[in-house]
Amino acid sequence: MVLCAGAAAALEAGAAKAEITPELGTPLAGHYQRMGRGAVSIRDPLWVRALYLDDGATRVLLVSADLCAITPELREAVLERAPREVPRENIILAATHTMTGPGGMVRPLVFRLFTGRYMPELVDSTAEAFANAMRDAIDNRKRASIGFGTTQASGMIRNSLLEGGSVDGQLGVLRVNDSDGKPLALVGNFGAVCSAIEVPGPEMLTLSAGFPGHFCAELERLAEPGCVAMFLQGACGDAACVTPGGTEGWAGAEAFGKALAARAFETAQGIVSDNVSIEVAHTRAVLPPTLVDAYLPSTALLTTLEIGGLAMTFLPGAPSAQISLGLREKCLERGYDAQFTVSMANEYLFFFIGPQQYGIPGPATTLSFYGPAMGDLLAMEFSRLLTRGEAEVPALSGDSPEKDVREGIQRVILRGPAYQRGYARGAVFRDAMLTEFEQRYVARCVSGEVGLPEPFWAFLPDFVQRYLETTNITIPWLAMQARPMLTGLPSALFGETVGAAAGANMPFDAAWLVQCGRMLGMLETFEEIAELPQESFCTMVAVVGLKAGADDILIARNFGGPDPVTPVVYDVRPEDGYRYLMVGLPTGGGGFSGMNEAGVVVCIERNPLLGTPALDGPPVELVAAHILSRSRSAWAALEMVDLFPHLAGYRILLGDPTRAANSGIPPARVVQLGATPRIRAPSGGVLLGANPEAEGLDDAE
């Protein structure tokens, strides 16, 4: 981590731009449907824009280019050519994330699917244009003052993943004036995806800067002659444009860019500029492990730029609104007047999506590789870079759980916050989790038993297929199929799962695949991985009344499967909720039988005749854990079962020995989740599983 700060002297600033429109035939970046083909037309020019700031102690170059991303190859070439007056670490490169900009600047084959063939000559010429813009910005420097302002433009975007989901509608504006008070640079910061055309479509091979290009052109038209306008992409991970009048295509991009520029210009008129200090800090943060470590880096460059009371945080990817709003809230709490989230900075690690949307199918979540806790990691790292407030500390893993073995059965006590409970479980059963992941998924992918569906490979050129490692593609694809099972997962169990992955030092998606393995094995899509036991639990029975001994309840069940099963008794003591005991497996959270301190008993039995569960909700053992942690009675548990309609194919036995015998309420019931859910009460003091198709079953009233 490096921090550059100092007392402000007379501020100097300069701005310049250089055209980077490539020749026709250059491949475009952003959509695999183009299959690496070259551009056949140019809609509007593309530019790189540079802003130089020098407060006498710190020199900074802020650069924005009409590109899909800043690739490692381009960044290296730019820094080699950059003016030596500015330290390398103080040069911040950002892309507008236009989906109709040039590709050709990525060397690894796996990414050429999105960027086309590698063109080293294009990297060199583009880097030269960057260097020229930076040199001109320094040479054009003048005595200056700077100020910032914000406005809300929430109506111009919508959440592209979740209808009615949160959006970051802040439009941030930075105004840099010369000594006469005239703007020499205006910078806008707003988050929205730059899709201007339908892909595939007749104009999919057209080069364009998209709405950011129209934003800058319109802002320069509205401002004083000679003013350079710059666009910094914001939280675009889940933000779709709402164009004026619903216009589409190129007309929509132009209308959106101009409308956004008009708002930015209006905001700029109210900004008072001043001579302020500038502070830059940066760190190379260690990232969580992923299923695609072969293709993505394990560290990332994070940068902060403080301009007076403004905190600018630069992220190497496309964050969701949830992550951006969280960063802003923390910055304001630390005493900053405003915060700008700038995405697509310095490198591109795809999308960062928070836990609320991580399981929703879509391109953004499919290309989110570092897990749903990236927002917390980013907040912690940025807190260490910013000069105001205290740095956040990493989540504590907590003490090692208490454990013992009795008659071959392990008993583990998990206590504390959700993350700590999960971390402890993952640390204790790391070997078991890794072994199951290797056996159930990796080994089968390597052997070819499990592969991608044929349509996935159909569009890939033969030369690309030869260079792709099957395991590095197939396992992430399987993880994408399991992501929707996060839907409806209670926040505490989500936190436990994140903690378990960290404790086992596994990618979140790998830990989640292990958690979901038995349920996935039941589905036709995953029939190849069903050889391991799908669910290792069998018959359950409840005996009530005199047969159990007065008003008692006797509930029993056995465990078994095609392979030896070693159950674990979890003694879970959450900070919020009921303590409960649960019998489960070492490879996953939750379990199949348990009882909480309120006396509620839950047992689960699988019956294929009842149907097959859907992949749009959490595994049944996590549902059981949630019920036990929150239910004060069997009736409350019964209501909670209704919250998980995806669990077809199960019988759930609910018992409650605290119910008085003379209350008229059966102390035990079975919820049978078939095509038509039904509830059965004890018959003659005994409650057994039964063939769902049998006639004459006694249903509870």
pLDDT tens column, 566-601: 789 999 999 999 999 999 889 999 988 999 999 899
| Contacts for 399-408: CB closer than 8 Å, 24+ residues apart | 399/424, 400/424, 400/427, 400/428, 401/425, 401/428, 403/428, 408/566
Bigger pLDDT: 701 or 303? 303
Confidence band of 201 (pLDDT split at 50, 70, 90): confident
DSSP code of residue 345 = B
Q: For residues 252 and 196, is the Cβ–Cβ distance under 8 A?
A: yes
Map tokens 């009530």 to a residue: 544
* Rounded (10°) angle between helices 491-503 and 620-630: 120
Give dist(CA 671, CA 650) in Å, integer. 8
Strands 170-178 and 183-190: antiparallel
Give dist(CA 573, CA 451) in Å, integer. 41
Q: What is the pLDDT at residue 548?
A: 57
Bigger pLDDT: 410 or 303? 303
Bigger pLDDT: 50 or 462? 50
The two tokens of residue 139 are 């040479």
Give dist(CA 129, CA 511) in Å, integer. 45
Of 231, 233, 255, the residue nearest 242 (C-alpha)? 255
End-to-end CA separation in angstroms for the chain: 66
Cα 287–126–204 angle (5° rounding)? 85
Residues in the chain: 701
- Average of per-residue pLDDT across 181-203: 86
Q: For residues 519 and 608, is the Cβ–Cβ distance under 8 A?
A: no
Q: What is the pLDDT at residue 109?
A: 76
Percent of the chain with pLDDT over 70: 86
pLDDT surpasses 60 at 692: no
Map tokens 């030896």 to a residue: 564
pLDDT surpasses 90 at 191: yes
Instruction: Give the chain's mean pLDDT.
Output: 87
* 489 three-state secondary structure: coil
pLDDT surpasses 60 at 693: no
Percent of the chain with pLDDT over 90: 61
Q: What is the pLDDT at residue 233?
A: 98
Range name among 17-21, 43-47, 465-469 with the lowest pLDDT average: 465-469
Confidence band of 235 (pLDDT split at 50, 70, 90): very high
pLDDT surpasses 80 at 492: yes
pLDDT surpasses 60 at 522: no
**DSSP symbols for 505-571:** T--HHHHHHHHHHHHHTTSGGGGGGTTS-S-----EEEEEGGGTSTT-EEEEE----SS----EEEE
Q: What is the pLDDT at residue 566?
A: 76
Q: For residues 223 and 169, is the Cβ–Cβ distance under 8 A?
A: no
Map tokens 């830990």 to a residue: 511
Q: What is the pLDDT at residue 264?
A: 98
Confidence band of 537 (pLDDT split at 50, 70, 90): low
Bigger pLDDT: 364 or 338? 338
Buried b (16+ CB within 10 A) or exposed e, 602-622: bbbbbbeebbebbbebbbbbb
Per-residue pLDDT reduced to its tens digit, 103-146: 999 988 778 778 889 999 999 999 999 999 999 999 999 999 99
Q: What is the pLDDT at residue 638?
A: 86
Q: What is the pLDDT at residue 567?
A: 83
Of 516, 448, 506, the residue nearest 479 (C-alpha)? 516
The two tokens of residue 612 are 């097959």
The two tokens of residue 667 are 């102390």
- φ and ψ of 603, to 5 deg: -130, 145
Give dist(CA 317, CA 309) in Å, integer. 25
Q: For residues 490 and 273, is the Cβ–Cβ distance under 8 A?
A: no
Strands 310-314 and 338-342: parallel
The two tokens of residue 449 are 């038993």
pLDDT surpasses 60 at 429: yes
pLDDT surpasses 90 at 539: no
Confidence band of 670 (pLDDT split at 50, 70, 90): confident
The amino acid sitting at 28 is: L
Strands 650-655 and 351-352: unpaired
Q: Which of 21-25, 451-455, 645-649 has the highest mean pLDDT?
A: 21-25
Give dist(CA 319, CA 342) in Å, integer. 9
Q: Is the pTM of this model over 0.85?
A: yes
Query: Cα dist. 105→50, 108, 116, 299, 573 in Å?
Result: 20, 10, 8, 21, 53
Q: Tell the burial category of 121 from Cβ atoms under 10 Å away from its Cβ (0-12, 13-18, 19+).
A: exposed
Q: For residues 378 and 343, is the Cβ–Cβ distance under 8 A?
A: no
- Average of per-residue pLDDT across 61-67: 98
Q: What is the pLDDT at residue 664?
A: 61
E runs forming strands in 567-701: 568-574, 580-584, 593-596, 601-606, 650-655, 668-673, 678-680, 686-688
Confidence band of 335 (pLDDT split at 50, 70, 90): very high
Strands 2-4 and 278-286: antiparallel
Q: What is the pLDDT at residue 32?
A: 77
Give dist(CA 22, CA 4) in Å, integer. 36
Q: Tell the burial category of 581 from Cβ atoms under 10 Å away from its Cβ (0-12, 13-18, 19+).
A: middle
Bigger pLDDT: 387 or 649? 387
Confidence band of 3 (pLDDT split at 50, 70, 90): very low
612: left (phi over 0), alpha (psi -120 to 50) or beta: beta
pLDDT surpasses 90 at 477: no
Q: What is the pLDDT at residue 550?
A: 59
Lateral strand order in the sheet of 2-4: 2-4, 278-286, 299-307, 310-314, 338-342
- Average of per-residue pLDDT across 215-232: 96
Give dist(CA 41, CA 204) in Å, integer. 10
Bigger pLDDT: 432 or 659? 432
